[in-house]
């Protein structure tokens, strides 16, 4: 997809349309921002947002940073006040242009537009929200949550309170690994990082006007915290992996007990269940994209950790050519459907790059 920007130089994005899309019913959109030294295709391969989109019937759009990466075909983000470099372009303007383009070309529900960022992409998404942009209904971060550029006060690093002024309280879900050396969990690292993940979460609880202490729970090496009472119905959820590094977390293989329960008779299932340890109060086998989608869809309810519904009809993601329909801008102002008449050819490459930060 080509994104026309105000500076006159077209930009690029990659999008995925679920097989059930008709162009008539308004669907949600998730924008996915890649890490440094990566690209949109690689990010979709990493995050699996396309698979989650197929399963749940929404559009996934992977955006592309303007700075050249370390390898050919890779990119990084020109984050305001953080990693601005010569030759970098207006990323905030590009994100807005991408949203406008998607609204023009597809039947989109403007009240359900979300964003996800990994590493450098999450730093970019943090800066976007901090700059006062009011376009996303909720946002997710993997190894990347920031709350303003780092400043040092009395020998301690903290977010610059003058550098983060979100338009409104927004629901946020964030993931971090204690053993992350690229964006260190405890702070430090490169100049753009410095303060800890906990400090970033705490600052967002202040920005969102949250009450409580996060009600943290721990199970199987994962710590889950939820600030469920914030202004305007916003909530903040955080997952910390005690043995996690900088890689995008992947769900662990099923345990032998679960496999046995799935294959054996009802009697065997009962036997396995009887010896199984008590179930944690939250899901510890986490796929961030799936967990983000659940959180986005239930941002105004009490259940952010429910299991995703199974795919209907056994549909599988498509990575080849499909047909999507155009949605007129004026149609999105009311109702849940769009008038559509202009087909769009949808293609997505499976190529990607490794080593994103």
Residue bearing the bigger pLDDT, 9 or 53 = 53
The per-residue pLDDT of the chain, averaged, comes to 83
pLDDT in tens, 228-242: 999 999 999 999 999
Lowest mean pLDDT among 143-152, 186-195, 324-333: 324-333
DSSP annotation of 199: H
What token pair was written down for 232?
């305007």
Task: Tell whether 272 is covered by a domain.
Answer: no
Percent of the chain with pLDDT over 70: 76
pLDDT in tens, 336-351: 888 754 444 444 433 3
Task: Tell whether 140 is covered by a domain.
Answer: yes
Q: Note the pLDDT of residue 313.
A: 40
Cα 194 to chain centroid, rounded: 22
Q: What angle do CA 85, 89, 94 make, to 5 degrees?
A: 140
Lowest mean pLDDT among 92-106, 142-156, 204-218, 301-315: 301-315
Task: Tell whether 16 is covered by a domain.
Answer: yes
DSSP output for 2-20: EE--TTS--EEEEEE--TT
Domain count along the chain: 1
For residue 261, pLDDT beyond 50: no
CA separation for the pair 118, 131 (Å, rounded): 19
pLDDT in tens, 127-141: 999 999 999 999 999
In angstroms, the first-to-last Cα distance of the chain is: 24
Task: Tell whether 125 is covered by a domain.
Answer: yes
Task: Tell whether 257 is covered by a domain.
Answer: no
Pairing state of beta strands 59-63 and 343-346?
Answer: unpaired
CA separation for the pair 69, 199 (Å, rounded): 29
Number of H helices, E strands in the chain: 8, 16
Task: Tell whether 17 is covered by a domain.
Answer: yes
DSSP output for 165-193: --SS--EEEEEEETT-TTTTTTSBSSTTT
CA separation for the pair 46, 245 (Å, rounded): 15
Local structure of 291: helix, strand or coil: helix
CATH code (residue 16):
3.40.50
What is the residue range of 42's domain? 10-168+191-198+301-346
Cα 209 to chain centroid, rounded: 22
DSSP annotation of 214: -
By C-alpha distance, which of 162, 178, 284, 176 is closest to 222? 284
Task: Tell whether 306 is covered by a domain.
Answer: yes
Task: Tell whether 341 is covered by a domain.
Answer: yes
CA separation for the pair 340, 270 (Å, rounded): 52
């Amino acid at each position: 997809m080509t994104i026309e920007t105000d500076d006159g130089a077209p930009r690029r994005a990659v999008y995925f349309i679920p097989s059930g899309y008709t162009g008539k019913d308004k669907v949600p959109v998730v924008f996915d921002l890649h890490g440094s030294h990566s690209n949109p295709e690689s990010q979709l391969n990493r995050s699996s947002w396309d698979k989650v989109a197929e399963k749940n019937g929404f559009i996934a759009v992977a955006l592309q940073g303007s700075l050249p990466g370390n390898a050919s075909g890779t990119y990084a983000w020109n984050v305001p006040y953080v990693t601005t470099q010569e030759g970098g372009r207006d990323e905030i303007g590009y994100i807005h242009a991408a949203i406008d383009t998607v609204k023009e070309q597809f039947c989109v529900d403007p009240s359900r537009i979300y964003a996800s960022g990994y590493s450098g992409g999450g730093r970019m998404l943090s800066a976007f929200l901090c700059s006062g942009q009011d376009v996303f209904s909720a946002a997710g971060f993997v190894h990347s949550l920031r709350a303003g550029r780092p400043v040092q006060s009395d020998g301690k690093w903290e977010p610059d309170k003058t550098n983060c002024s979100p338009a409104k309280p927004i629901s946020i879900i964030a993931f971090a690994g204690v053993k992350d050396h690229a964006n260190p969990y405890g702070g430090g690292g490169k100049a753009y990082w410095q303060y800890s993940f906990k400090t970033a979460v705490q600052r967002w609880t202040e920005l969102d006007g949250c009450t409580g202490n996060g009600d943290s729970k721990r199970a199987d090496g994962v710590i889950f915290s939820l600030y469920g009472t914030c202004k305007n119905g916003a909530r903040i959820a955080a997952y910390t992996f005690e043995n996690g590094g900088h890689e995008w977390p992947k769900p662990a293989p099923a345990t032998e007990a679960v496999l046995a329960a799935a294959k054996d008779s009802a009697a065997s299932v009962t036997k396995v269940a009887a010896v199984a340890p008590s179930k944690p109060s939250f899901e510890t086998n986490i796929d961030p994209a799936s967990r983000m989608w659940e959180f986005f869809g239930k941002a105004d309810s009490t259940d952010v950790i429910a299991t995703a519904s199974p795919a209907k009809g056994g549909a599988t993601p498509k990575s080849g050519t499909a047909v999507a329909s155009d949605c007129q801008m004026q149609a999105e102002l009311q109702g849940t459907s769009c008038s559509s008449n202009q087909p769009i050819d949808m293609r997505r490459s499976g190529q990607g790059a490794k080593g994103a930060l």
